[in-house]
């Protein structure tokens, strides 16, 4: 299965996010479903270090947001009663600040919200204009103080609720403070460390300089084999559209669990998956019958070419590397719709706003595209976050609309049927570009037919290559109708986890990529999942600039203008090279 680097914050993680596990396939000789393992070639220590670096960057971004908010409030005249009322409303609405205190001579003169601690002598860490305390516990929850000096010599102190951290670490992590003590963990962590002195020699901690917190990641080995299809189910397609009713009357033992003409998902309560598939493949009325494979995620108007988004200059190296600033002078992605097939997209994120169109949930056929996982929101932000709005990050395609299509559940998994269903829906609802940061190591007829449908309808299809450092092709990345994207780091070298092979078309930044996370958060993630939406965004810019170009012509522009890396010409690691946004758009302008 395909897994991206889960972006969490400030953690020592036990689960391997970019894990490699088995694949399922149909053996042509015995027509049975089998499991096959992909050779594991990833360096686990390198993977752990990569995640630790992501987490350190995420933490720095989190602190920068909090500090900026505190400074805005510190500049207000808090003696004004109207401003005090506004201040109280903002504190009550803020997701991270538990409360604030205006300090005079180290004593609270005004308290807003709930402050369990107001002692400014605890502020022992200094970074830029902010001061921080070590974490502390109150009534079972962890907090931290942050302070800012006022111009009149007073101080404003905020109490930060660190529940945000626990949200990211989920159930598999712990966090060490500046004293080396692990102070936050998930509900059931498999970690025996009490202090960083207990860490094995093989684990190298990464420091968060603002706080002195240490991040150590230890991954567990993945299961040797894991079932990669839904048990007791099959995806079928009829040869003739008028034969379904009679056929189902003749097979009362089968239950229809999903249907999306001409495809059906059927389920047997008694037969194993292997026996079910074997029997259905003998049925004359069916053009194919296959397992319901499990797929997982792969972790302007009058615009200035240098956006003012708060995280653009200090963190978004990835956009500068692909020459975004010069590209934005030529196209903003207007009147283009980019579909994000993923875990959904947060409908209320401040850095998406009106860019989000009404989406689709392939699991229940509703418009609920909410994202409890976070992967899809991150991918959407890379492709087309609101840009030049002061807040957060810049997206590649400034003005493109986002069409959210939820084909992966809250665990980051979905079946080949759901993915195919999402593709059909996206095409029929106006997608110009489809991004698929998902996949696995097997061909599925239902998926390939959906890909062909999209391609024949002139949709640009972008897919991630996979995160297992293997040459084995993934699907849908292997299909010739798809533009396949590998990952590079900030040195323009192949990311060590990035899959390779002759099917690679281009590369894009995929290591340590900042983007959006649900509930107005921002995180750093790594994976080919992050590389692919850079290319989807570029495709949006191209289609906005030249709507007359076919999808194949868009592919050709992206390939021929890429910056050649590695072996001269096309190669297995970089394809035609790293995308060059300015070069691609200038080639059209010229």
Q: Kindly report, residue by residue over 318-333, the tens digit of the pLDDT.
A: 999 999 988 888 999 9
Q: What's the pLDDT score for residue 295?
A: 66
**Is residue 231, in this structure, part of any structural domain at all?**
no
Q: Which of 375, 378, 503, 534 is catalytic?
A: 375
| Angle in degrees, CA 499, 500, 506, rounded to 5 | 105
Enter the tokens of residue 107.
């004593």
Average pLDDT of span 360-376: 94
Q: What average pLDDT does the structure give for the chain? A: 81
User: Pseudo-torsion of CA 408, 409, 413, 416, nearest 10°?
Assistant: -50
The reported pLDDT for the residue numbered 13 is 27
Report the candidate in 405, 451, 448 with the shortest Cα–Cα distance to residue 430.
405
Using the 8-state DSSP alphabet, how is residue 219 labeled? P
d(CA 504, CA 396): 21
pLDDT category, 504, cuts 50, 70, 90?
very high
User: Is 309 contained in some domain?
Assistant: yes
Backbone φ/ψ region at 501: left (φ over 0), alpha (ψ -120 to 50), beta:
left
Whether 175 is covered by a domain: the verdict is: no
Q: 461 pLDDT exceeds 90?
A: yes
- Residue 384 sits in a domain whose CATH number is 3.40.50.200
DSSP H or E stretch at residue 147 = strand 141-149
Q: How many residues does the chain have?
A: 590
Answer whether residue 198 is part of any domain: no
Q: What is the mean pLDDT of residues 270-280?
A: 85
Question: What's the structural domain count of the chain?
Answer: 2
Q: Do residues 374 and 522 both lie within one domain?
A: yes
- Asked about 375 being catalytic, the answer comes back as yes
Of the candidates 342, 440, 489, 580, the residue annotated as catalytic is 342
Q: Is the pLDDT of residue 341 over 80?
A: yes
Active site residue: 529, 534, 576, 580, which one? Answer: 529
Q: Pick the last residue of a domain from 103, 138, 163.
A: 163
Q: Among 163, 183, 210, which residue terminates a domain?
A: 163
* pLDDT band at 264; cut points 50, 70, 90: confident
**pLDDT of 188 over the 60 cut:** no
More confident residue, 390 or 300: 390
- Give the model's pLDDT for residue 101: 84
HSE-up of residue 469 (Cα within 13 Å, Cβ side): 14
241 burial level (CB within 10 Å; 0-12, 13-18, 19+): exposed
| DSSP state at residue 356 | B
Query: Which one, of 20, 169, 14, lies nearest residue 497 by Cα?
Result: 20
For 357-426, where are the E strands, in sequence order?
Answer: 360-361, 401-406, 413-415
Asked whether residue 340 is assigned to any structural domain, the reply reads: yes
In a domain, 420, yes or no: yes
Which pLDDT score, from 0 to 100, does residue 502 have?
96
- Which pLDDT score, from 0 to 100, does residue 149 have? 84
Tell me how far apart the alpha carbons of residues 348 and 350 are, in angstroms, rounded to a whole number: 6
Examine the pLDDT at 5 and tell me if it is beyond 50. no
Residues 159 and 306 both lie in one domain = no
* Spatial separation of the C-alpha atoms in residues 21 and 14, rounded to whole Å: 16
pLDDT confidence band for 32 (50 / 70 / 90): very low
Q: Does 193 reside within a domain?
A: no
Contact 173, 12 (CB under 8 A): yes
Reported pTM: 0.75
Q: Which residue has the higher pLDDT, 47 or 172?
A: 47
Task: Say whether 325 is catalytic.
Answer: no
Q: What does the pLDDT read at residue 486?
A: 97
Please report the pLDDT score of residue 560 as a whole number.
Answer: 97
Q: What band does 169 get if pLDDT is binned at 50, 70 and 90?
A: low
Distance, CA of 178 to CA of 47 (rounded, Å)? 24
Mark which of 116, 137, 163 sits at the end of a domain.
Answer: 163
Q: Which residue has 């409303």 as its token pair?
A: 89
What digits encode the pLDDT tens for the residues 345-364? 999 999 998 899 999 999 99
| CATH, residue 129 | 3.30.450
**Higher-scoring residue by pLDDT: 90, 289:** 289
Is residue 485 predicted with pLDDT exceeding 70?
yes
Q: Is 97 helix (H, G, I), strand (E, B) or coil?
A: strand
Cβ atoms of 466 and 298 within 8 Å: the answer is yes
Lowest-pLDDT range of 217-221, 229-233, 493-497: 217-221
485 within domain boundaries: yes
* pLDDT (tens digit per residue) in 405-441: 999 998 888 889 999 999 999 999 999 999 999 988 8
Q: Known catalytic residue: 437?
A: no
**532 — pLDDT class (breaks 50, 70, 90):** very high
Number of helical H runs and strand E runs in the chain: 14, 29
Cα(36)–Cα(20) distance, integer angstroms: 12
Q: Which pLDDT belongs to residue 166?
A: 64
Neighbours of 265 (CB within 10 A): 22
Tell me the torsion sign for CA atoms 445, 448, 450, 452.
negative
Is the Cα dihedral 445, 446, 449, 454 positive or negative? negative
Return the higher-pLDDT residue of 574 and 70.
Answer: 574
Q: Which domain holds residue 133?
A: 75-163
pLDDT of amino acid 184: 57
The DSSP result for 310-345, as a single string, is: TTHHHH-HHHHHTTHHHHHTT---TT-EEEEEES--
Residue 325 has a pLDDT of 86
């Amino acid at each position: 299965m395909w897994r991206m680097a889960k972006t969490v914050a400030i953690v020592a993680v036990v689960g391997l996010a970019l894990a490699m596990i088995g694949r399922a396939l149909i053996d042509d000789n015995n027509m049975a479903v089998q499991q096959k393992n992909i050779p594991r070639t990833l360096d686990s220590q390198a993977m752990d270090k990569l995640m630790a670096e992501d987490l350190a960057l995420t933490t720095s971004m989190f602190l920068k947001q909090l500090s900026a908010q505190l400074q805005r409030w510190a500049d207000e005249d808090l003696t004004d009663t109207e401003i005090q009322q506004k201040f109280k409303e903002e504190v009550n609405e803020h997701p991270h600040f538990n409360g604030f205190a205006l300090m005079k001579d180290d004593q609270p003169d005004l308290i807003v919200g709930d402050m369990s601690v107001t002692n400014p002598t605890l502020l022992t860490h200094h970074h830029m204009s902010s001061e921080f305390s070590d974490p502390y516990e109150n009534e079972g929850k962890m907090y931290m103080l942050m302070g800012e000096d006022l111009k009149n010599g007073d101080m404003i102190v905020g109490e930060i609720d660190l529940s945000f951290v626990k949200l990211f670490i989920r159930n598999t992590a712990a966090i060490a403070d500046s004293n080396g003590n692990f102070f936050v963990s998930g509900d059931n962590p498999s970690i025996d460390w009490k202090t960083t002195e207990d860490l094995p020699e093989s684990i190298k901690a990464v420091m968060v300089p603002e706080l002195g917190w240490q991040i150590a990641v230890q991954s567990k080995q993945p299961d040797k084999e894991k079932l990669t299809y839904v048990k007791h189910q099959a995806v079928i397609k009829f040869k003739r559209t008028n034969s379904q009713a009679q056929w189902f009357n003749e097979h009362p033992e089968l239950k229809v669990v999903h249907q999306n003409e001409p495809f059906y998902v059927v389920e047997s309560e008694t037969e194993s998956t292997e026996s079910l598939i074997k029997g259905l493949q003998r049925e004359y009325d069916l053009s194919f019958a296959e397992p319901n494979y499990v797929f997982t995620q792969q972790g302007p108007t009058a615009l200035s070419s240098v956006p003012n988004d708060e995280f653009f200059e200090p963190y978004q190296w990835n956009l500068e590397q692909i020459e975004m600033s010069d590209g934005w002078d030529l196209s903003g992605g207007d009147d283009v719709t980019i579909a994000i097939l993923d875990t959904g997209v947060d409908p209320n994120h401040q850095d998406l706003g009106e860019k989000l169109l009404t989406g689709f949930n392939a699991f229940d056929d509703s418009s609920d595209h909410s994202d409890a996982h976070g992967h899809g929101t991150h991918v959407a932000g890379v492709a087309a976050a609101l840009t030049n709005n002061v807040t957060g990050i810049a997206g590649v395609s400034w003005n493109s609309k986002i069409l959210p299509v939820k084909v992966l559940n809250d665990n980051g998994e979905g079946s080949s049927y759901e993915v195919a269903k999402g593709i059909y829906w996206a095409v029929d609802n106006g997608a110009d570009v489809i991004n698929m940061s998902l996949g696995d190591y097997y061909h599925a007829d239902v998926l390939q037919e959906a890909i062909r449908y999209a391609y024949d309808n002139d949709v640009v299809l972008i897919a991630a290559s996979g995160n297992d450092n293997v040459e084995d092709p993934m699907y849908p990345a292997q299909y010739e109708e798809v533009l396949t994207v590998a990952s590079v780091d900030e040195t323009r070298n192949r990311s060590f986890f990035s899959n390779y092979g002759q099917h690679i078309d281009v590369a894009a930044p995929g290591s340590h990529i900042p983007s959006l996370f649900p509930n107005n958060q921002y995180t750093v993630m790594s994976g080919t999942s992050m590389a692919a939406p850079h290319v989807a965004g570029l495709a949006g810019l191209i289609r906005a600039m030249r709507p007359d170009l076919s999808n194949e012509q868009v592919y050709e522009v992206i390939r021929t203008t890429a910056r050649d890396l590695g072996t001269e010409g096309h190669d297995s690691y970089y394809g035609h090279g790293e995308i060059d946004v300015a070069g691609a758009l200038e080639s059209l302008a010229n």
